[in-house]
Amino acid sequence: MDKTQDSKSRSIRGIVPENHPRRESILIRERLVEAMEREVVVPQGLIAQGRGECFDYLIGEKTRDFAERALEVAAVLLIEAKNPVISVNGNMAALVPREIVELADAIPAKIEVNLFYRDEVRERAIEKVLREAGAREVLGVGEDASETIPELFSERRRVSKRGILSADVVLLGLEDGDRTEALVRMGKRVIAIDLNPLSRTSLTASVTIVDNVIRAIPALREKVLKMKSLSREEREKLLKGYNNRDVLRGAMKFMSERLAQLSLDL
């Protein structure tokens, strides 16, 4: 962050009262706007965040049981993968760069820049954010993104040969449905972090963590550390007992019951 941005974000912190009920969410928005000014996030990314915030409201902005179950299984898949890759877009780089690097180190996994609106200036801006956060290697930048995901068109399909193309497990957040479907069709296990349990990504992924990336990425690192101490049999049991549809049903049920309860409390 340069000096002007730093002082700007400090002044926003000063304006929003400590006890403002939406303080965190306002500060997060500010981070995304600043990231857009640095070409890390595109305007569409701000709209995607707005869609996510709506679902975060419905779950009460907390990591719930249905997310905990998905986080455990996601951690097992990542630990046991041969080539796990964390796919990073502009919003993720803006919101949780250090946490992504810490998660990648804990697994260990590769980090790849993967953008819906790909261009080299943005790729490099995101790479810079990740390197400043401690990443030693960032795939999917420039020539490295020279391979393609079959059945997808335009720049959306470009990936790295050593990264997503050859990955057996891919972790992604705020992803669009077409790309998630294409990765699943390629035989990859896809772990999605998506606040909307109704999105195509949520419905298609192998494991869907219905939670905000702000909470989910650090929580996933904790689970990775915890799952590493489990035996192979215990991990196997977790994988066998997991059903992603049940988790999505759980999320939808939670949202509807919470809304019903809130309507009674009015």
Assess contact for 202 and 208: CB atoms under 8 A.
yes
CA dihedral sign, ordered 205, 169, 210, 223: positive
Element (H, E) at 185: helix 177-185
- Give the x/- contact pattern for ligand ATP in 44-83, rule: CB under 6 A: ----xx-xx--x----------------------------
Contact flag: residue 201 with ligand ATP (CB under 6 A): yes
Residue 176 interacting with ligand ATP (CB under 6 A):
yes
Q: Segment near ligand ATP (CB under 6 A), from 63-71, 144-152, 168-176, 183-191? A: 168-176
From the list 57-65, 193-201, 230-238, 250-258, the region that binds ligand ATP by CB under 6 A is 193-201
Residue 35 or 195: the one with the smaller Cβ distance to ligand ATP is: 195
Positions in 207-246 near ligand ATP (CB under 6 A): 212-213
Contacting range for ligand ATP; rule: CB under 6 A; set: 67-75, 102-110, 169-177, 245-253: 169-177
For the chain, the C-alpha Rg in angstroms (whole number) is 18
Q: Which stretch binds ligand ATP (CB under 6 A): 102-110, 191-199, 218-226, 241-249?
A: 191-199
Question: Rounded to the nearest whole angstrom, what is the least distance from the CB of residue 27 to ligand ATP in the complex?
Answer: 13
What whole-number distance in Å separates Cα of residue 191 and Cα of residue 216? 12
Q: How many CB atoms lie within 10 A of CB 47?
A: 10
Are the C-beta atoms of 219 and 63 separated by less than 8 Å?
Answer: yes
Q: What are phi and psi of 172, to 5 degrees?
A: -140, 155
Instruction: Please name the amino acid found at residue 17.
Output: P
**Nearest approach, Cβ of 91 to ligand ATP (angstroms)?**
6
For the bound state, the minimum distance from the C-beta of residue 222 to ligand ATP, rounded and expressed in Å, comes to 17
Among 73, 111, 183, 195, binds ligand ATP (CB under 6 A): 195
Strand partners, 88: 113
Interface with ligand ATP, residue 114, by CB under 6 A: no
Distance CA 27, CA 38 (A): 17
Q: Nearest approach, Cβ of 214 to ligand ATP (angstroms)?
A: 6
153 φ, ψ to 5°?
-110, 165
Q: Whole-angstrom Cα distance, residue 158 to residue 173? A: 17
Which residues sit at the interface with ligand ATP, rule CB under 6 A?
A: 48-49, 51-52, 55, 173-174, 176-177, 193-196, 199-201, 212-213
